[in-house]
Structure 1
Amino acid sequence: MDLKTRKRLSLLILLLGLPGYIVIAWMLLAWIDDTWGRLPIWGELLVVVGLGILWILPFKRVFSGIGKGEE
């Protein structure tokens, strides 16, 4: 995949994927609160960080080298 395509795809992922991640993380934490009760703050932090790492892993190849110039 060429650099121009990866830049456009990464912008699309950040504009649509990141807000989608925030909504899903928020809904998951609300569901956990309703089901098992409120998690301690460190538990919520672990869930959010875990989800943040999970959503970016499939797109690692798209985001690699985006900051570099055309060669």
Structure 2
Amino acid sequence: MALSWKARRRWALFALVVALPLYIVVTVNVIDLFDRPPFLLELAIYIALGIVWALPLKRIFKGVGQADPDTPKD
């Protein structure tokens, strides 16, 4: 089922305002449970997790910044 432009926009806003900060807190807490890894390994983990969160949401973010394609043209 395809989401409308308005629904994608709402879900993208929810993902950026609510889900992303929650993901950051959970990620930092999970990394904190382990002994501090070497700096480069820790950096690589944060970079990988910073990319991984966006992959499932790619379809939601696609085209959200453009004008609504469903509006009638004048």
Shared topology, TM-score over 0.5? yes
Higher helix share: 1
Distance in structure 2 (CA, Å) of the matches to 1:50 and 1:2: 30
Please give the residue correspondences for 1:1-71 in structure 2 after superposition, counting only pairs within 5 Å. Answer: 1-33=3-35, 38-71=36-69
Cα distance, 1:52 vs structure 2: 1.5
Match of 2:72 in 1: none
Unpaired stretches in structure 2, ≥5 consecutive residues: 70-74
Q: Which runs of 4+ in 1 moved over 3 A?
A: none
Distance in structure 2 (CA, Å) of the matches to 1:14 and 1:60: 12
Distance in structure 2 (CA, Å) of the matches to 1:54 and 1:6: 19
Q: TM-score, normalised by structure 2?
A: 0.80
RMSD value, Cα? 1.1
Q: TM-score, normalised by structure 1?
A: 0.83
Distance in structure 1 (CA, Å) of the matches to 2:48 and 2:14: 22
Does 1 or 2 have the higher relative contact order (CA < 8 Å, sep 6+)? 2
